[in-house]
Amino acid sequence: MDADQPPAVRASASAVSAHSASAAAGRLAGTAAEPGVRKPDPLLVLDGVTRTFGGLVAVRVDHLEVQRGAITALIGPNGAGKTTLFNIVSGFDRAGRGSWSFDGHPLTGRPAHRVARQGLVRTFQLPRTLSRLTVRENMMLAAAGQHGERLLSAVLRPLWRRQEREAGRRADELLERFRLGGVRDDYAGTLSGGQRKLLELARVLMVRPVMVLLDEPVAGVNPALSQSLLGHITELRDEGLTVCFVEHDMDVVMGISDWVAVMADGRLVAEGPPHTIGQNPAVVDAYLGRRHDEPGAPGVEPTGDQSTGDQLTGDKRAGDQPTGDEPTGDKE
């Protein structure tokens, strides 16, 4: 949400966002908090998806559904297989076995450009901008179905001039929305890391997606810009898009998610609403290891009163000291 907006506008936007969050949570009400649970209206469905690298099983997801119109967080310790799963679904990697569908249409084995045409697009941990093109040119390149990109019609500008103008108008609107209008003519390589994250998110919307996969959207971003990014992400849900994101910052997960799925060792080990996921024994085991609560286990004080669930949800009582076992923001 834009901090420069008048208070009345910000209050109205907050009310809309709260209503959308409540509606998304309402659709998931009554859904059992267990891995692989069926959702009321799934948009993305995965079955038996497996990916191995030599003898290492990176992903082995028996069943996963992503609810339409909701923000789903995909969390887990480093090496859990989260980014690999994103790569498979978005067409940047191939699964050894399994199938997945999007809005009822099979996507198994389709390349990335065809997946994007279906309305499923993604961002990356490290923004992939074209540094020697301007910010606006980066946006324009993302527009789909441009007639001027075809060999035969490229020389006949009257055939695609109007389409290019429309793409330019949309690019300008999105750059203003993401507060990048002032740098639209700057080279993308001159942007800060946070601005590149904003550019990548804005560029995703040039495709007019149905669902977006965000891989650590606020990693390495300063706190002020991080809040701006989170506001934009919740706006996507408010506009009817489906969002699934990978994140290590539990405050972010708890703050904007409608549903949380947890991976460990390539498997889906837990699912549920954000307020319950930190108390799930499978989640605690995934982050802290088994037998973590037994006397003498590393990081466990015999008389300590902080629960492991509090560590995962980011809640600490006065006087508590960090144990060093809390999940970090390191990349996979």
How far is residue 131's CA from residue 136's CA, in Å, rounded to a whole number? 12
Written as tens digits, the pLDDT of the chain (332 aa) is 444 444 443 444 444 455 566 677 788 988 999 999 999 999 999 999 999 999 899 999 999 999 999 999 999 999 999 999 999 999 999 999 999 999 999 999 999 999 999 999 999 988 888 999 999 999 998 887 776 666 666 667 677 678 788 989 999 999 999 999 999 999 999 999 889 999 999 999 999 999 999 999 998 888 888 898 999 999 999 999 999 999 999 999 999 999 999 999 999 999 999 999 988 898 988 887 765 455 544 444 444 444 444 545 554 433 344 444 433 444 44
**Which residue, chain included where needed, has tokens 């990548």?**
200
How far is residue 135's CA from residue 137's CA, in Å, rounded to a whole number? 5
Strands 259-264 and 267-272, by their bridges, are antiparallel
- Which residue ranges form the domains of the chain, and what is each CATH number? 33-126+213-221+240-332 (3.40.50.300)
The pTM of the full predicted model, rounded to 2 decimals, is: 0.78
Please, which residues have CB within 8 angstroms of residue 148's CB and are 6 or more apart in sequence? 154, 157, 159, 160, 163, 164
For residue 296, how far is the Cα from the chain centroid? 38
- Asked if residues 40 and 31 have their Cβ atoms less than 8 Å apart, the reply is yes
